Structure 1
Amino acid sequence: MIRWLTWLLVALLAALLAGCEDEAPPAPSQGFAGLGAKAGNFVQASPGTRLRFPEDHGPHPDYRLEWWYLTANLEDTAGEPLGVQWTLFRQAQQPPAERPEAPAPWAADQLWMAHIAVSRGDTHRVAERFARGGSRDSDPERDQAGVTAAPFRAWLDDWTMASRVGESDRDALSRLEVVATAEHEGAHFGYRLSLDAEGPLVRHGENGFSQKSADGQGSIYVSQPFYRVSGEVTLAGESRRVTGSAWLDREWSSQLLGPDQAGWDWFSLHLADGHRLMAFRLRGGGEDGGDYFSGSWITPEGETTPLDDDSLALEPLASSAVAGRTLPTRWRLRLPDQGLDLTVEAPHADRWMATTVSYWEGAVEVTDHASGAPLGRGYLEMTGY
């Protein structure tokens, strides 16, 4: 969905990387995390943007921010659930036309941030890394972080997402290998996963333009929600074979939100009958100052129906105390046109991402609201709480 980078974080990183640790970073200018700030001379996402693949699997330096965002619902050979996340964020320092002809030796056109997470039961492990990269004269393959479109590869250090496609007639994201490892209190956690798509890429909104407020802000938003996963997950130093499903989001923009939007609640759901559902509520930015709702109903064949506040209803039902905050971890989600009335609940509430910019991200279970019958699983992200 609306995956994110914050201008506050970027300002902090820029100060640190320039050796200015004693200078206080400026506060974000507008909206949640500054994502409502004006786009300036960056290209703004807009309806009618023509998508081209495999080029659009790579970076878009004319846009201010971008992400490659994977979540996966897995289980081991004993049937115990696990969850994983792999995310790479890109932040441009200035539009290409404004970059100096003779940059300083340590200048970088892009800043990068990566997150990984592994969850099982009450255990939730998170790691974060930062890098500079992408200067105009650099060799991408030698940069500490970056993305190449052909062959597709995204990385920060040894946290990598790379295409396993050899045939030129197949989409580069249809087969991936995702690898990451980190350490917590002397014990390793991480994963090595193989992803195989069993359906096509999905374009959200208006042929890929996903509007995020009544004022027209938005992003270019494409997903691959059809991955079948196999591989190995390590947690607390113990490795387990796993299988399951995954969802990859690709999104880029220069002004993602409106200035009065406080955060969002985003769902990616795999239903047992083969349908997929993406839905989000942006808190603020709707008509008359209300919330803004959007989503996509995706058939097993990949046909997509856009959803709005007339065809989608999201209602918090219960909250949990997490990391000193109160967050809604049980929801009612209704799709009248599909005849669905769902309960979406996090079986483990403590999935706080205690990263530099913190948020909640975790697995959820989907049941019929009336009967409680299991209908699927997925992921929920919540920001701004």
Structure 2
Amino acid sequence: MSTTQTAQTTDAFKPGLEGVIAAETRLSSVDGQKGELIIAGFPLEELAAHATFEETAYLLWYDHLPTAAELERFRAELAGYRALPAATLTLLEQVAQVRRPAMDALRIAAGAMDLDARDLDDHGLARLALARIPTIVAAYWRLLHGQAPVEPDPELGHAANYLYMLEGARPTPAKVRGLETYLNTVSDHGLNASTFAARVIIATQSDLVSALVGAIGALKGPLHGGAPGPALDMVFEIGDVSRAESYLREKLERGERLMGFGHRVYKVRDPRAEVLARAAEVMYRDGGDMALYNLAREVEKIAVALLAEYKPGRNLQTNVEFYTALLLHGLGLDTDLFTPTFAVGRTAGWIGHCFEQRATGRLIRPDSRYIGERNRRWVPLEQR
């Protein structure tokens, strides 16, 4: 290859770094053509429905499922870190007074979640962060609605504690399993924007908490965090399956997007949608509104068929947002809690990527191409 060819190849501009491989990871593999998501070697379908969230986090961080003794110790360590420092709670109270959105509160308080930490290494900070992010979200939600925060219960696991701290009552096993499955499903998903942000920050040899705050800031953006709520709003607006086709046709003919369908990466059905659909069905059968679940399944079928008719060749299928909304609604969560709850699950993956990036010792520092003017000359202020 000539020098000119080499320069052209090296200087190729990739907007948004699309297609650029910037990291090697063992944490997850996303194949959009096959509709496949592998989490630390396990097909998503194999892991999500069986593992507790603590097992998934341990797997992501240490590359093996924990033994019974390791899991017991890991759970005990998380339980010991869940309570927030008094100053962090005071900060949340002040944020609630000005009624900021939950993701703002999470971003603000996450930076103060380690105020009482002393001499913790990355692994200690990882446990602290994983334990406290759900506590921040739950405490803030209650404060925002004029209720006192609920202290975490050391006898409950990660998912159960989150629901308990939100509601003040122990959740049913079916709800806990539903949330476990959801948190496992969203625990990691390739080098997405928030994960990349975390890796960039930790690569500077900054601290783990700073990397997580950066990741939360990236997730807060609507182009990344998404909006699962509108997918369910659409189902509520339809109300009855007899109205589904006409409602969806009208939206498509107006050029509107059907929320919960189509994905930038997945060109077939999002594997996370399938896992969450099964989890939602189990949970709704245990005591939820099966009429709503059945309506959602029918709306999905009609929407996919109409998308094939109106947008042939694009193969727009159900994505994770559709069944995320249905499952989290069934858990009793308000739509404003959907993205913070996503963060509760993704924290495990963010931390795993920070561990990987830290081990490389490599600064992430891409180049840029200058497109501005040249050869300008200074003009004194009085002559401008």
**TM-score higher than 0.5 here?**
no
Shorter-chain TM-score: what band?
A: under 0.3
Answer 1 or 2: which has greater helix percent. Answer: 2
| TM-score of the two chains, using structure 2 as the length reference | 0.23
| TM-score of the two chains, using structure 1 as the length reference | 0.23
Higher Cα Rg, which structure: 2
